Amino acid sequence: MERLPNPCCSQTDSRNPDMKKDHKENVVGPWAEEKLDLLEKYLKAYNTALKNQPFRRVYIDGFSGAPVCKLRSKTAHDSAPSAFLGDEEAAEAQGRFISGSPLRAIGCDPGFHMLRFIDLDETRSATLAELASDDPRIKVKTGDCNPALQELAQGFDAWDLRGVAFLDPYGAHLHWETLVALAETDKIEVIVNFPAAMAINRQITRDGDIPDNWAAQLDACFGTNEWRDIAYVVEEDLFGNEIVSKQGGMPEKLLDLYLGRLKEVFPYVAAPRLIRNTRGVGLYYLLWAGPNAQGYKIANDIFKRYNTVPGRKGQRGRGGRA
């Protein structure tokens, strides 16, 4: 297992508002299961479509997380075991466990020829490395995924390599230059968790007074500082003083910015899927982008079975290049 450097503005930024205790303890919300189910459906369809082609298929997980996650109970009452329940029933009342993205990719049938996992946490990486001891297809790295993914992309030049990268950050940790490096291979499709309605929304403060490290992280995430003009409006009060305030509908506007930039570097970008919490409130968008029409068709077919984002259809990028 290799260890990577941990640069500034990485996934462990101590001031990042979305790095919670739950992430360290591998606890996820009920909505995470929907996201992982979508991923699993796509991976199976992808491998099925290519299984008779002369390609070596690679799965890449940039923010791997734990092989197994615990679903957080909906309420505190749900998490309290009853004195009338047996051990197994009490455990069920406290929550249930689901397979994370690593196990879903490893168990995919048809399967991948190679699997590459990257995680910042040493404990999770060590758990993944134990899986690698029984499966020669698996390699694990510990550290910030951005330099690792860019290095991987540079070595993705063999004619028969094809890949899917699942990029599921806790916040604005995925750098735009990483996506560009993956797009330039013309062989890797990406499935991205874009947390505009969740972590990014919290980093963009109401009064525009954003800590420098948060602002730098957002610049790196979007690959531009255009998000600032989208996020805020500047008005004058009755005394001529400038008042900075957060714009309404900001997550949707940031989504449009991100989708537009994806279409500049990937030939195809599917319609986004909005993941909601148990109250129906939007949390983050699941996005697909890739180099070929077949993957685009598969992604749109799977995403359209769910609640896609109104008014935003999948389409070709790079000026409609086939």
User: What does the pLDDT average to over 19-46?
Assistant: 78
Decide which of 289 and 318 is more confident: 289
Give me the pLDDT at residue 74, please. 56
Work out the angle at residue 139's Cα, subtended by the Cα atoms of residues 180 and 130, and round it to the nearest 5 degrees: 140
Find the mean pLDDT for residues 281-298: 92
Q: Torsion angle, CA of 117/119/125/127, rounded to 10 degrees?
A: -80
Beta strands in the chain (DSSP E): 2-3, 27-28, 56-61, 68-71, 97-99, 114-119, 138-142, 161-167, 188-194, 232-236, 242-246, 268-269, 273-276, 282-290, 315-316
When pLDDT is averaged across residues 128-155 and rounded to a whole number, the result is 94
Which residues, listed in sequence order, are joined to residue 166 by a DSSP beta bridge?
61, 191
Q: At which residue do the structure tokens 């005394």 appear?
A: 239
Supply the pLDDT for residue 317.
Answer: 64
- Would you state the structure tokens that stand for residue 322, as one six-digit string? 């086939």
Percent of the chain with pLDDT over 70: 77
Residue 261 tokens, joined: 């930039």
Q: Measuring CA to CA, how many Å separate 259 from each of 63, 131, 183, 321?
A: 21, 35, 14, 16
Does the pLDDT of residue 25 top 70, yes or no? no
Task: Tell me the average pLDDT across 214-238.
Answer: 87
Give per-residue pLDDT as tens, 256-273. 999 999 999 999 999 999
Amino acid type, 37: D
pLDDT above 90 covers a percentage of the chain that reads: 51
Kindly report the average pLDDT of the chain as a whole number. 81
CA torsion 10-16-18-21 (nearest 10°) is: 90
Task: Spell out the SS3 assignment of 3-47.
Answer: ECCCCCCCCCCCCCCCCCHHHHCCEECCHHHHHHHHHHHHHHHHH
Q: Is 168 helix (H, G, I), strand (E, B) or coil?
A: coil
Q: Tell me: the pLDDT tens digits for 185-207? A: 999 999 999 998 878 888 888 88
User: What pLDDT sits at residue 241?
Assistant: 73
- DSSP secondary structure, 253-266, as one string: HHHHHHHHHHHHH-
- Strand, coil or helix: what is 128? helix
Residues 204-215 have a mean pLDDT of 88
Q: What is the pLDDT of residue 131?
A: 85
Task: Output 279 or 175, whichever has higher pLDDT.
Answer: 175
**pLDDT band per the 50, 70, 90 thresholds, residue 242:** low
Comparison of pLDDT for 34 and 167, the residue scoring more: 167
Q: How confident is the model at residue 313 (pLDDT cuts 50, 70, 90)?
A: low
- pLDDT (0 to 100) of residue 315: 62
pLDDT at position 240 is 65
Q: Which of 193, 133, 183 is nearest to 163 (CA)?
A: 183
Residue 28 has pLDDT above 80, yes or no: no
Q: Average the pLDDT over 293-311 and give the result.
A: 75
Using pLDDT thresholds of 50, 70 and 90, give the confidence band for residue 6: very low
Which stretch, 6-20, 198-212, 262-276, has highest mean pLDDT? 262-276
Taking only the tens place, the pLDDT of each residue in 108-125 is 999 999 999 999 999 999
CA–CA gap between residue 142 and residue 138 (Å, rounded): 14
When pLDDT is cut at 50, 70 and 90, the band that residue 278 belongs to is confident
Q: Provide the pLDDT for residue 65.
A: 87
Which pLDDT belongs to residue 289? Answer: 98
- Of the listed ranges 185-194, 208-217, 300-309, the one predicted with least confidence: 300-309
Q: What is the structure's pLDDT at 132?
A: 84
